[in-house]
Amino acid sequence: MTTAGPRRAPRAERLRLAVERDGARCVWCGRAFGPLVPPTRDHLVPRVKGGPSWLENEVPACRRCNAERGHRGVVEWLEECGRRGWDPDAGAVERALDALEEAIAERGGQRRARAYVASQQRRLRR
């Protein structure tokens, strides 16, 4: 069994992998990344809510969205993006939540993050 993997990759590498997985645009506002819109890692489950620094908990977002979302829940922020007339990539967000759910099931622990993920998935599927 290998213990090395994407989740142990350094931050810059996780950011690269997240962009590769979800596309070179902000998952929230849809702006393409470039010199004026650099990508950042946004935690689906915020760190203060127990979210781990794993690739599965990170989606590529522009600085503005990352900062403005703050600790707001995934679904609440998706709704806010819609109100602002943006076109968030809800599919990428849902896939990331599912991958995070699987990663937690496999690795164990993360009780707070697990509850958070489950509540967001329920709201997304309503």
The reply to whether 18 sits near Zn ion by the rule CB under 5 A is no
Q: Report yes or no: 17 and 58 within 8 Å, Cβ to Cβ.
A: no
Among residues 15, 45, 62, 103, the one that binds Zn ion under rule CB under 5 A: 62
- Backbone φ and ψ for 96, nearest 5 degrees, come out as -65, -40
The residues facing 58 across adjacent strands are 43
Q: Which residues within the stretch 69-108 sit at the binding site for Zn ion (CB under 5 A)?
A: none
* Piece of the chain touching Zn ion by CB under 5 A; list 19-27, 41-49, 77-85, 116-124: 19-27
For the beta carbon of residue 17, count every other beta carbon within 10 angstroms. Answer: 16
* Piece of the chain touching Zn ion by CB under 5 A; list 26-34, 47-55, 69-77, 109-117: 26-34
- List strand residue ranges (DSSP E) for the chain, in order: 39-43, 58-62
Token digits for 8?
Answer: 């142990």
Burial class (CB in 10 A: 0-12, 13-18, 19+), 96: buried
The reply to whether 44 sits near Zn ion by the rule CB under 5 A is no
- Cβ proximity to Zn ion, 40 vs 110, nearer residue: 40
Among residues 29, 75, 81, 104, the one that binds Zn ion under rule CB under 5 A: 29
* Piece of the chain touching Zn ion by CB under 5 A; list 3-11, 62-70, 75-83, 99-107: 62-70
Site for Zn ion, rule CB under 5 A: 26, 28-29, 62, 65
